């Protein structure tokens, strides 16, 4: 008797298919949202986590004092109302009396005070601490009232308080030192289980002040890639997912039963020049590079048409028309003339660094830039590196040029003070100090009248584009996708997943 090789193979295949179908026949838990992403959260402490996925997870569990809506207007969250004093030196919040943590304990002014004191304590290592340095003292006249006393008027502080990094945590958890191990917040969901890089299990928080949550819970699976997420959605195993890669996300509209949601982001794609290194120390060389670049072409090719040409400011409330900025229309002749004025008519060679996979199109962007800059004799050598190696190199400012995607803020001051003020903590990355830019940012920071802030920041933007320490290219798009059975998802660019609290899953 000889075992038949072909038969064995066939039997195994048939068994695999049968078993595969068997799991699918099991009844689906209708009221649990099955979600997926390719990059897992990196931790649970809302004050120290900055990774995209961590913030998305934690915004389901924790709440800040205030929350931004789709137009970046400040709205209520734990606080019902708020008011700046006329001199701009005190900011008073009235808390929602119904706000409760998932343990059932009320959120009080003592929790708010303890949370901000933790944020400001250097030992916490809170990345957002820099945004709250104007807080001098915090008073709690009663359990529902919190008064922040500021050392100087600080218009952007309210927006900074809307971030997940300014979440309110229980004072008792701070005292126990359990933040980061147990996630106890006042948001729509509570975390039942976290197996890093595998899955998160969330259930609806019955104590949430926002009302009844539409699903029983959420299971977030960490899948190996965004294309495997699409596979799982096709197989009806995932209801809702996050996507970052436009080349993958733009496939979704062709899939039956799947909807793609586009969310314009505040982050921006940029070619950072290093003005500390010659010849980029010469403003004419930097301007030549800016003129030689065709921004729309980069979007059309490297970014498969996703995103818009942008100047330094990506928020609609402050941004100028990009066409009004210096050399935003490609002008190779002007670029060549500028190179000649700088004494570099023959061009020069430089390295440009790009991270692999972050953003997913970084290498493509670098290649398009390489071909565009070749027209004026600038020869780019592209160096791609692992993200952590890239970040390490980037933070040291150890590059000629860098293809980067930098995060944005709804307010220009916290977005750029880190790079372009003389005390900015990322000055080593930008290597660019300009007294005019410094002055404009400070003016914009203390001005509380929105109508007066806008022209100040537009001046800042125009100056930045003309000095061209960096070449701003395009705004970004973040994507979510859902099956037809998921109803009620609303786009919110700042609290991307917050509206999952209202979503329902049906047949």
Partner 1 sequence: MNYLVQRLLTFPLVLLGVSLLVFFAIRLVPGDAIIAMLGTEAGLLTDAQRASLAAYFGLDQPVVIQYGRWLTGLFQGNLGISTTYGKPVLEVIIARFPLTIELALLSMVIALAVGVPAGVFAATRADRPSDLVVRLFAMLGQSTPSFVVGLVLIYLLSVNFHILPAMGSFTPLFVDPLGNLAQMILPSMTLGLAFAAAVTRIARSSMLDVLSEDYVRTARSKGASQRDVVWRHALPNALIPVVTLSGVEFGYLLGGAVIVEQIYALPGLGRLTLDAISQRDYALVQGAVLFIAFNFLVVNLLVDLAYAALDPRIRLGGK
Annotate 434-456 with DSSP letters as a single string: -HHHHHHHHHHHH---HHHHHHH
DSSP label at 320?
Answer: P
Q: Are 504 and 341 in contact (CB under 8 A)?
A: no
In three-state secondary structure terms, 71 is coil
Choice from 100, 129, 277, 308 touching partner 1 (CB under 8 A):
129
Q: Integer distance in angstroms from the first to the last C-alpha of the chain?
A: 52
Helix (H) or strand (E) holding 122: none
**Is there binding between residue 254 and partner 1 (CB under 8 A)?**
no
Q: How far is the CB of 254 from partner 1 (least distance, A)?
A: 12
Q: Which stretch binds partner 1 (CB under 8 A): 90-98, 119-127, 272-280, 489-497?
A: 119-127
Q: Are 361 and 245 in contact (CB under 8 A)?
A: yes
Choice from 394, 399, 470, 479 touching partner 1 (CB under 8 A):
394
Choice from 73, 81, 151, 181 touching partner 1 (CB under 8 A):
181
**Is there binding between residue 67 and partner 1 (CB under 8 A)?**
no
Q: Is residue 299 reached through a cis peptide bond, with omega within 30 degrees of 0 on the bond before it?
A: no
Distance of alpha carbon 70 from alpha carbon 63, whole angstroms: 17
Q: How far is the CB of 147 from partner 1 (least distance, A)?
A: 26
Interaction residues for partner 1, span 409-438 (CB under 8 A): 418, 425-426, 428-429
Which residues, in sequence order, are CB contacts of 293 under 8 Å at separation 6+?
271, 330, 369, 372, 373, 471, 473
Q: Which stretch binds partner 1 (CB under 8 A): 207-215, 222-230, 281-289, 361-369?
A: 222-230
**Is there binding between residue 9 and partner 1 (CB under 8 A)?**
yes
DSSP H helix total and E strand total for the chain: 16, 18
The torsion region of residue 191 among left (phi > 0), alpha (psi -120 to 50) and beta comes to: beta
**Is there binding between residue 51 and partner 1 (CB under 8 A)?**
yes
- Would you state the structure tokens that stand for residue 257, as one six-digit string? 């039963």
By beta-carbon proximity to partner 1, the closer residue of 209 and 441 is: 441
Q: How far is the CB of 421 from partner 1 (least distance, A)?
A: 13
By beta-carbon proximity to partner 1, the closer residue of 48 and 269 is: 48
Q: Which stretch binds partner 1 (CB under 8 A): 196-204, 206-214, 464-472, 490-498?
A: 196-204
Pairing of strands 217-222, 240-243: unpaired
**Is there binding between residue 49 and partner 1 (CB under 8 A)?**
yes
Q: How far is the CB of 228 from partner 1 (least distance, A)?
A: 7
By beta-carbon proximity to partner 1, the closer residue of 129 and 262 is: 129
**Is there binding between residue 507 and partner 1 (CB under 8 A)?**
no
Distance of alpha carbon 234 from alpha carbon 101, whole angstroms: 37
**Is there binding between residue 22 and partner 1 (CB under 8 A)?**
yes
Angle at 454 between CA 452 and CA 460, to 5 degrees: 115
Choice from 31, 345, 374, 389 touching partner 1 (CB under 8 A):
389
Pairing of strands 240-243, 32-37: parallel
- Contacts of 251-255 spanning 24+ positions with Cβ under 8 A: 252/479, 252/481, 255/230
By beta-carbon proximity to partner 1, the closer residue of 23 and 86 is: 23
By beta-carbon proximity to partner 1, the closer residue of 42 and 103 is: 42
Choice from 89, 130, 304, 382 touching partner 1 (CB under 8 A):
130
Q: Which residues bind partner 1 (CB under 8 A)?
A: 1-3, 5, 8-9, 12-13, 15-17, 19-24, 26, 34, 36, 42-43, 48-51, 122-127, 129-130, 180-181, 195-199, 219, 221-224, 228, 231-232, 234-238, 386-389, 391-395, 406-407, 418, 425-426, 428-429
């Amino acid at each position: 008797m000889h075992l038949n090789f072909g038969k064995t193979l066939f039997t195994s295949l048939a068994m695999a298919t049968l078993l595969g179908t068997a799991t699918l026949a099991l009844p689906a838990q209708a009221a649990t949202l099955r979600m997926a992403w390719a990059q897992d959260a990196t931790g649970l402490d809302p004050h120290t986590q900055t990774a995209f996925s961590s913030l998305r997870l934690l915004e389901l569990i924790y709440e800040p004092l205030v929350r931004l809506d789709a137009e970046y207007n400040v709205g209520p969250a734990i606080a019902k109302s708020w008011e700046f004093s006329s001199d701009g030196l005190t900011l008073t919040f009235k808390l929602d009396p119904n706000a409760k943590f998932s343990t059932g304990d009320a959120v009080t002014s003592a929790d708010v005070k303890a949370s901000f004191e933790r944020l400001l304590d250097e030992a916490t290592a809170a990345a957002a601490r820099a945004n709250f340095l104007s807080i001098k003292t915090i008073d709690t006249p009663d359990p529902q009232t919190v008064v922040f006393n500021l050392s100087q008027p600080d218009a952007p502080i309210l927006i900074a308080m809307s971030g997940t990094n300014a979440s309110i945590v229980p004072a008792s958890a701070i005292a126990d030192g359990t933040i980061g191990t147990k996630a106890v917040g006042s948001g729509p969901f509570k975390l039942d289980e976290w197996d890093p890089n595998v899955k998160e299990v969330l259930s609806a928080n019955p104590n949430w002040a926002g009302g009844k949550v539409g699903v029983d819970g959420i299971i977030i699976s960490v899948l190996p890639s965004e294309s495997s997420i699409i596979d799982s959605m096709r197989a009806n195993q995932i209801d809702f997912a996050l996507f970052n890669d436009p080349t993958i996300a733009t496939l979704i509209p062709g899939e039956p039963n799947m909807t793609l949601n586009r969310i314009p982001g505040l982050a921006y794609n940029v070619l950072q020049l290093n003005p500390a290194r010659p010849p980029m120390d010469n403003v004419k060389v930097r301007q030549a590079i800016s003129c030689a670049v065709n921004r729309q072409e980069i979007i059309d090719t490297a970014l498969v048409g996703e995103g818009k040409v942008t100047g330094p400011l990506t928020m609609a409330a402050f941004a100028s028309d990009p066409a009004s900025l210096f050399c935003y229309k490609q002008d190779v002749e002007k670029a060549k003339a500028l190179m000649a004025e700088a004494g570099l008519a023959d061009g020069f060679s430089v390295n440009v660094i790009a991270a692999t996979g972050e953003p997913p199109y970084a290498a493509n962007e670098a290649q398009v830039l390489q071909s565009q800059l070749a027209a004026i004799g600038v020869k780019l050598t592209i160096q791609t590196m692992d993200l952590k190696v890239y970040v390490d190199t980037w933070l040291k400012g150890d590059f000629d040029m860098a293809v980067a995607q930098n995060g944005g803020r709804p307010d220009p001051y916290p977005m750029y003070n880190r790079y372009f003020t003389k005390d900015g903590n990322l000055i080593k990355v930008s290597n660019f100090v300009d007294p005019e830019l410094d002055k404009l940012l400070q003016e914009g920071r203390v001005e509380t009248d929105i109508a007066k802030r806008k022209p100040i920041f537009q001046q800042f933007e125009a100056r930045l584009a003309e000095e061209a320490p960096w070449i701003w290219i395009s705004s970004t798009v973040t994507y979510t996708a859902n099956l037809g059975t998921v109803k009620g998802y609303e786009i919110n660019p700042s609290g991307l997943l917050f509206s999952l609290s209202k979503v329902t899953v049906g047949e």
